[in-house]
Structure 1
Amino acid sequence: MSEDISCPRCKTSKYRNPLLKLLVNVCGHPLCDNCVDLLFVKGSATCPTCNISLRKTNFRVQLFEDSLVEKEVDIRKKILKDFNKKEDDFTSPDEYNDYLEFIEDLIYNLTNNIDVESTKRKIENYKKDNWESINRNRGKLSRDEEEIEGLIEAEKDHEQWKTQVLSVQENNFSKSKKRAAEALVDDLMCSDLPANQILARHASEKLQLEKRNAELPKPPPIRRPPSQVMFSTGIKVGKNSSSLFLPVPKQVEHEVYVYVEPTFDMEGPNPLGTKDLHDLGHIHHVRNIELSELAGGFIRTYPCQRAIQEAFCGLFYQPDP
């Protein structure tokens, strides 16, 4: 979370309070944890931004810097609990795509407060008409989920078997070390050989014991099945699929393409460039763009240049006699 983000109520920023923790609720408007404790001391209150009734127990830590993203994630989770049909439930890909598009429209409307009441009515009508399939699909796993569940179970069984094998090996090794230590004490007490020879012999036996223990076969790691990738067109590729890539076409010799900049007859004055728009002051008549527009690739000079071209285009037009 960047340092310029602050609580909209108390204006405390991350820069002034590094321990600042923003919380969000179903409405998506953030509040710091201190303001939540102060405003929701009775357990429920209204949001200071939109006046929606909220409960303190529904606040959660804000994960994304944009509160609108937090709101969309929360709405998406709730919508997908009921709109849980799979691709296998539809007769054609077009019907499934229309179903996905319908879900995205619902999420977009609720996130941006567009026709909220009618959108909620659509959701309720869908629940009434499809309550049987909703309850059935809640306990039904998709193919990907079934594959993941199988991998998790296989990993658990493998780890349990690996733990048992290693515990047996460690137990045998510890018993061998104990017997070697007891034999060393007996030899030092009863043997007529010098102590340095006895210690050297047991040291070599200990090294051989550790070497044999290190050479024992270890449980192999679990082998995952090769992953399968599906493109948006439905084509499955990978070692675990029957589809293969098409062969690479042979390169045919042809003429090298040369780009030629197109020319347009404006039938009027030549269009102004970006530098001319700033120097002549035309850009001052265009509103400042927002950060979201700038992120989308929208530049302030585009509408200014287009408006001037449309204004002067055709001034020199002469109809044919």
Structure 2
Amino acid sequence: MDEEIKCPHCGSTKYRNPSLKLMVNVCGHALCETCVDRLFMKGSGQCPQCNVNLRRTNFRLQLFEDHLVEKEVDIRKRILKDFNKKQEDFASLEEFNNYLELIETIVFNLTNDVDILATNKLIDNYKKENATQIIKSRSRLSKDEELIEELLEQERQQTLLRTQLIISENKESAKSKVKLRESLADELMFSDASAQQILANHNNEMKVQSSEMTKNMDVLSLTAKQQTKAFSTGILVGKGSNVFDQNVRQPEGKSYVYKSPHFEINGPDCPHLVAIQSNGYLNNVRPASGQDLAGGFLTHFPCHRALQEAFCGLYFKI
């Protein structure tokens, strides 16, 4: 893959120059770092491929191999800075979808050099007509972004609380271990019991202490969740319309019972999936490769679908 990385201007490759770095500008065409320094020594110049006027400061490292992808990503970031309306800014979902379609059309035109003048004029008119709205939207988060911020803040609080609880528990555990060691030393020095019996009792006490520590950690984790009033996903209770209160009881009703669907195929019954191989239907079907089998694909499935389509409608009469 490294051998395919090549500067289109000087022909230098990653194989011959391991430190080769390709850079792109607003036009999307790549140049190596050496060519950029040489061609844009004065700070500005023209792209060798499309003759677009470029500035040296606007060059950045290329992230994608396809220059069109790199160009589209750059254009999309630039367009979304101004076309930043949210769904709640529109009276209906259809208007919002039309707005999103307009954005995609603009990005496509600029990426593929389609109606550049008309597209740029459309962008300029939009900026003039929505100048105030653009400034307000830049400092306003959408509902999804607000929910993500709440989740991140809740996760930070839970992590901090867990850390404090773990530190406290570790201190208590260290103190208990010191007491056990001192107790073991005293018993070995002054007790009349054998050393083996004393060590066995000490090991049992250590196991009991370890079990109690595990239970305490589980209780502390549960306490942390209850104190933060959050679900296991980290969603805060009562923080907006997209979250639910755990104390609200759901309406009672009959339990859902699954019923397998029945289809009228107007034809003979199709052989069962298990009987396809025993009846010889797979003799003329290409066997699944190792890669197919690894992905859970069996030749029984397409053969069964083909038989269903073949049998469907054979008894149908107009």
Q: Normalising TM by the smaller chain, what interval? A: 0.5 to 0.7
Which residue in 1 is equivalent to 2:123?
Answer: 123
Q: Give the superposition deviation at 1:178.
A: 1.7
Q: Contact 2:44–2:53 (CA<8 Å) still a contact in 1?
A: yes
Alignment partners' CA distance in 1, 2:97 and 2:14:
42
Q: Give the superposition deviation at 1:68.
A: 0.9
Deviation readout 1:24-83 (Å, 9 max, x if unpaired): 121111122333344445554443323334344432222222101111111111111111
Which consecutive unaligned segments of at least 5 residues does structure 2 have?
226-230, 236-257, 269-318
Q: Give the superposition deviation at 1:158.
A: 1.5
User: What is the percentage of aligned positions where both structures have the same residue?
Assistant: 49
Deviation readout 1:171-199 (Å, 9 max, x if unpaired): 11111112222333444455565555544
Which residue in 1 is equivalent to 2:295?
Answer: none
The alignment status of 1:223 with 2:232, answered yes or no, reads yes
The secondary structure found in structure 1 opposite 2:148 is: helix
Which residue in 2 is equivalent to 1:214?
Answer: 214
Structure 1 residues 75 and 204, CA gap change in structure 2 (3 angstroms): same
Q: Give the superposition deviation at 1:127.
A: 1.0
Q: Which amino acid aligns with 2:232?
A: R
Which residue in 1 is equivalent to 2:264?
Answer: 253
Alignment partners' CA distance in 1, 2:145 and 2:15:
42
Higher RCO, 1 or 2 (CA under 8 Å, sep at least 6)?
Answer: 2
Q: Which amino acid aligns with 2:177?
A: K
Which residue in 2 is equivalent to 1:148?
Answer: 148
Q: Which amino acid aligns with 2:79?
A: I
In the TM superposition, 1:58-97 aligns within 5 A as 58-97=58-97
- Asked which structure has the greater CA Rg, the reply is 1
The secondary structure found in structure 1 opposite 2:232 is: coil
Alignment partners' CA distance in 1, 2:80 and 2:259:
41
Of stretches 88-97 and 162-171 in structure 1, the one that deviates more from structure 2 is 88-97
Q: Give the superposition deviation at 1:156.
A: 1.4
The total of aligned residue pairs comes to 237
Q: Give the superposition deviation at 1:96.
A: 2.4
Q: Contact 2:155–2:234 (CA<8 Å) still a contact in 1?
A: no
The secondary structure found in structure 2 opposite 1:144 is: helix
Alignment partners' CA distance in 1, 2:185 and 2:42:
74
Alignment partners' CA distance in 1, 2:207 and 2:100:
66
Q: Which amino acid aligns with 2:112?
A: N
Of stretches 96-105 and 157-166 in structure 1, the one that deviates more from structure 2 is 96-105
Which residue in 2 is equivalent to 1:202?
Answer: 202
Which residue in 1 is equivalent to 2:10?
Answer: 10
Q: Which amino acid aligns with 1:117?
A: L
Which residue in 1 is equivalent to 2:302?
Answer: none
Q: Which amino acid aligns with 2:58?
A: N
Give TM-score scaled by structure 2 length: 0.64
Give TM-score scaled by structure 1 length: 0.63
Tell me the C-alpha RMSD between the 2 structures: 3.1
Alignment partners' CA distance in 1, 2:85 and 2:63:
28
Structure 1 residues 205 and 252, CA gap change in structure 2 (3 angstroms): closer
Alignment partners' CA distance in 2, 1:107 and 1:248:
47
Which residue in 2 is equivalent to 1:285?
Answer: none
Q: Give the superposition deviation at 1:134.
A: 1.1
Which residue in 1 is equivalent to 2:182?
Answer: 182
